[in-house]
Structures are given as structure tokens and as C-alpha cells.
């Protein structure tokens, strides 16, 4: 019985940590302004993953663990890649904000800014000219695809992380209490 309590407490701690990270550090450094709701959704995903861990007493098979590790690494790579390539950091009133963009710029939507500034305008200056509210229009479907991919990677990473760590704590052998 002591092992069950310890395991549940540890799994709860992991889910709480993942939820707290989702609401603070991850939200501030990884989540673009257009997807700010992901911090709250991350809490729900961490709690759902915790429920999966707590109510499945079956030990995970090696193939399942490897599959989940592959998903974890793939989603982590996706988050980092998207953050590095498709997130623009802009400063307003002395504060930095992150904005997700898309892969392909719509020449028609960008035309007023490119005519006004120059043909070789930077992505940063283009967004400032058009306004952050117009980012979806500037990048059309590639912005929406990037958003869906970002959501999938972020929430998938959190959920799989909680499941893997929670299951690992469940499979730990009970500690000996000085008796042989």
C-alpha cells in the first residue's frame, strides 16, 4: 500500500510540474502570442495524462516505451524547429512578444508594405508594417498549418512526457526500509 501511495504522489508531482512549466516557463519562452491558450490547454493535457498513468496499472511494454520516446523526441524537435524558424520576436513598449508566422508569404497581402518600404523587406519589418493582427492574412494557409503543427507538438510533448515519467515512477521497486 505504501508503494501505491508513493507512486501516485510522485506521478501527481510530475503532472503538477509539467502543468506549472506549461503555465510559466514554456508559455513565456515557447508559446507565441496567437497560441497563448496553449498554457492552459497544457495543464489539462498534463492532468489527462496523469489520469492515464494512475488508472492503468499495466506495465508498459518495451515497444510501447520506445514508441512514446520517439513521439517525445519528434514533438520536442518540432517545437524547437518551429520556434527557431517560424516565430518572430517583436518588441512593444519595452517588452518582447513572440508571434508565429507561416512558411509562405502571400505577395498580394504583403504588397502594401513592400511597396511602401522596399521589395527586400525583412520579415520583422513586414509584420511591424502590416500589424500583428494581420499575420494570418499575410501567410494564409501556411500560418494555419504552422499553428496546428505547433499545437500538436506542444500538447503531444507534454502528454507523452507525463505518461513516460509517471509510468517510470510506477515501475520503480519499493524501497527497502533497512530490513533484509
27-48 per-position pLDDT tens digit = 677 889 999 998 889 889 988 9
pLDDT score recorded for residue 155 = 95
As a whole number, mean pLDDT of residues 152-174 equals 82
- Work out the angle at residue 30's Cα, subtended by the Cα atoms of residues 26 and 87, and round it to the nearest 5 degrees: 175
98-132 per-position pLDDT tens digit = 999 999 988 888 888 878 776 678 888 888 888 89
pLDDT score recorded for residue 142 = 95
Q: Give residue limits of the domains in the chain.
A: 2-170
* Cell reading at 77: 524537435
- Reported confidence tier of residue 180, pLDDT bands at 50, 70, 90: very low
Measure the CA dihedral 94/96/100/104, to 10°: 60
In whole angstroms, what is the distance from residue 120 CA to residue 115 CA? 10
pLDDT score recorded for residue 93 = 84
pLDDT score recorded for residue 62 = 86
Residues with Cβ < 8 Å from 162, sequence gap 6 or more? Answer: 14, 15, 18, 45, 46, 49, 50, 53
46 touches 158 (CB < 8 A): yes
Q: In the block, which residue shows the cell 527586400?
A: 120
Amino acid at each position: 500500500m505504501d508503494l501505491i501511495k508513493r507512486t501516485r504522489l510522485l506521478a501527481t508531482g510530475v503532472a503538477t510540474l509539467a502543468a506549472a512549466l506549461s503555465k510559466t516557463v514554456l508559455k513565456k519562452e515557447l508559446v507565441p502570442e496567437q497560441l497563448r491558450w496553449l498554457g492552459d490547454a497544457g495543464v489539462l493535457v498534463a492532468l489527462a495524462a496523469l489520469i492515464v498513468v494512475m488508472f492503468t496499472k499495466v506495465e508498459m511494454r518495451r515497444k510501447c516505451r520506445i514508441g512514446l520516446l520517439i513521439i517525445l523526441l519528434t514533438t520536442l524537435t518540432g517545437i524547437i524547429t518551429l520556434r527557431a524558424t517560424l516565430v518572430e520576436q517583436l518588441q512593444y513598449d519595452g517588452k518582447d512578444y513572440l508571434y508565429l508566422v507561416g512558411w509562405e508569404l502571400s505577395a498580394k497581402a504583403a504588397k502594401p508594405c513592400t511597396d511602401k518600404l522596399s521589395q527586400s523587406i525583412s520579415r520583422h519589418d513586414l509584420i511591424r508594417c502590416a500589424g500583428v493582427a494581420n499575420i494570418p492574412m499575410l501567410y494564409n494557409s501556411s500560418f494555419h498549418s504552422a499553428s496546428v503543427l505547433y499545437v500538436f507538438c506542444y500538447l503531444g510533448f507534454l502528454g507523452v512526457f507525463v505518461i513516460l515519467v509517471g509510468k517510470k515512477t510506477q515501475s520503480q521497486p519499493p524501497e527497502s526500509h533497512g530490513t533484509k
